[in-house]
Amino acid sequence: MEDCLFCKIIAGEIPSTKVYEDDLIYAFNDINPQAPVHFLVLPKKHIESLDATNPEDAEVLAHILLKIKDIAKEQGIVNGYRVAINCGPDGDQTVKHLHFHVLGKRKMSWPPG
């Protein structure tokens, strides 16, 4: 995806603070953190949103969910965390490459605004 900001970050064309990478996924610190720890976990494959996923994405989606706890631990989160996926206009998704927000080291509230 030529014009995708997060594809460019994954490719190293735009710098980021990487927290984890493997064959399938890339994770980096959010540029505008909403908690003391706030990183994003992405499939390397360009998928526009959660709404654009299909059964062949099951492996990478499961992989992200299973990796988050390990990255969270590495980032020093010990007391729980919030995982959020914003999807589409009402979900307030601003970057159209699927990403999981992981926020920690502060108490979250519910419901979100």
Enzyme catalytic residues: 99
Q: Which of 18, 44, 45, 46 binds Zn ion (CB under 5 A)?
A: 46
Say which entry of Zn ion, ligand 5GP, none residue 46 contacts (CB below 5 to 8 A, set by partner kind): Zn ion
Rule CB under 6 A: say whether 75 interacts with ligand 5GP: no
Rule CB under 6 A: say whether 93 interacts with ligand 5GP: yes
Rule CB under 5 A: say whether 4 interacts with Zn ion: yes
Distance CA 44, CA 79 (A): 29
User: Do the Cβ atoms of 43 and 57 come closer than 8 Å?
Assistant: yes
